Chain A
Amino acid sequence: MKTFLEEVNERIGGVPIQRCYHCRKCTAGCPLAFAMEYNPNRVIKMIQMGMKDEVLNSSTIWLCASCETCITRCPNEVDIARMMDVLREMAIREGRTVKEKNILAFHQAFLNSIRSRGRINEPFMMVDYKLKSGDLFSDMGLGINMFMKGKLALISPKTRDLGAVKTIFEKTRNL
């Protein structure tokens, strides 16, 4: 059976994360580190130590905003941003309890909009998100303001060949 480290490295498909020598450049440059449970370089160490539950159940993997500052500055080219994607993907596949539920709810609402229309329709996506997250009332004023300015179009053109988009979702579901 593969170790957690081997599994993560295989999915990243790049530089093995154990090349990290903890210079902490990633953490120093990370704009979200202040809000994270574990700093990015600490996550690498935890993966090496086999702390799968702690990592996959953490808020850290969801709070990463994919700004890619870490990989840009890493002297050893450890792709931490891609590592965070891999960890999120693993957490979803394993049906883990997601600590930042609303962040995942947003991603799901976003992808639902693509699946059903080929493109994002912002008002419909937001309604879907609100139903998923239960966060019904935030941004109401802003939304109404944008609607009044004509920035939220209830009717927006869809991709004509919706079948092609749906096929992409079907074929990548279990890859």
Chain B
Amino acid sequence: MKVSYYPGCSLHGTAKEYDQSVKAVSKALGIELSEVEDWSCCGATSAHSTNFKLSVALPARNLAAVEAGPQKEVMVPCAACFNRFKSTQYYLGHNEALKREIEGVIGRPYRGDAEVLHPLGIFHDRVGLEGLASRVVKKLTGLKPVSYYGCLLLRPPEACRFEDYENPYMLDGILTALGAEVKMWSYKTDCCGGSLTISRTDIVGRLVDKLMTMAREAGANCVVTACPVCMANLDTRAGENVRLPVFYFTELMALAFGLAGPADWFKLHNTDPTPLMGGLGLV
């Protein structure tokens, strides 16, 4: 399978272990990635919070680049980029006049036929849980994660059209296939505070502490996410008495598949996962 790849800004910076682990896992599963030609930022929360037209024009430029490229399917691992791409397709797909206006802004045609995919969906639906389980060489025995989706992959459901938006299950399925003992909890889709992390750290600290407290109450020994914003907040903003190690789901896939990289990626985390993983004999 060949797909376009839109890393987005985070995956080239603070989320580089996500970029590296997505690439490693994709390669192992025979998924060939080709980076979107000369991509630019999706605009994220800051664009749509301040300027609607800008917030659809920035993703439209990238979607037009995907449409002009060899692969019409694009893998977008960052939940924020995924959300902005899906929202843009929704707005431009429902408003012909706006679509024409935005084509004028970006100075190139936009058709709206790029298929925006998240790696969770690709791994879960295309490879399948049995296919993933058959690749496992090191079962994640003793790992008790809660799966944490946050907001941006799922909401608003009309635009994201991803999976069950109140009780999503793909991440749980994948982690179970890797041999982890996934814990059930009611906070899968609660918000971590997102971009307020810089400007209102106090609020984000409060939200993250609640998530960590609830994860512990569910019996979890770690939290697994598919979003660089959630990762940054959970990994750096939790209080010392409640914090748990946090992983990108692709880091754990790579670990279970016996791929090179996880030990180096774990060193990049703020909350050191090595005591937990060492104790379980996983690194």
Contacts and interface: CB of A to CB of B under 8 A. Distances in A.
A118 to B, nearest CB: 4
A159 B38 contact: yes
Contacts of A71: 155-156
- Category for how many chain B residues contact A: 35 or more
A25 B259 CA distance: 45
Given A111-B50, A164-B106, A175-B53, A151 B16 contact: yes
B43 A114 contact: yes
B186 interface: no
Nearest to A126: B198
A46 B154 CA distance: 29
Nearest to B106: A168
B50 A153 contact: no
B229 to A, nearest CB: 10
B16 A164 contact: no
Contact of A122 (B13, B45, B49, B165): B13
Interface string B1-37: 0000000011011101000000000000000000000
Nearest to A104: B50
Interface string A61-76: 0010111110110000
Contacts of A35: 200, 203
A81 B157 CA distance: 13
Interface in A61-107: 63, 65-69, 71-72, 79, 81, 85-86, 88-89, 92, 100, 102-107
A107 B49 contact: yes
A164 B200 contact: no
A85 B58 contact: no
Interface in B145-204: 151, 154-157, 165, 189-191, 193-196, 198-201, 203
A139 B200 CA distance: 12
A89 B51 CA distance: 6
Contact of B268 (A105, A151, A168): A151
Most-contacted residue by chain B among A79, A150, A152, A175 (CB, 10 A)? A175
Interface stretch (A1-9, A15-23, A47-55, A141-149): A141-149
A164 B236 contact: no
A172 B155 contact: no
Contacts of A149: 267-268
Interface residues of A, number: 63
Contacts of A157: 12
B80 to A, nearest CB: 10
Contact of A161 (B38, B155, B165): B38
Given A114-B43, A139-B198, A68 B151 contact: yes
B106 A111 contact: no
Most-contacted residue by chain A among B9, B39, B53, B105 (CB, 10 A)? B9
Contact of A89 (B45, B50, B61, B268): B50
Contacts of B43: 111, 114
13 contacts: A13-B95, A32-B191, A65-B194, A89-B51, A103-B199, A104-B50, A108-B50, A120-B13, A145-B270, A149-B268, A151-B268, A152-B13, A160-B38
Interface of A: 11, 13, 31-32, 35, 63, 65-69, 71-72, 79, 81, 85-86, 88-89, 92, 100, 102-108, 110-111, 113-114, 118-122, 126, 129, 133, 138-139, 142, 145-146, 149-153, 156-157, 159-161, 164-165, 167-169, 171-172, 175
Given A153-B13, A159-B40, A160-B38, 13 more contacts: A65-B191, A68-B151, A71-B155, A81-B156, A102-B200, A107-B45, A119-B12, A149-B267, A152-B14, A153-B12, A164-B106, A172-B53, A172-B105
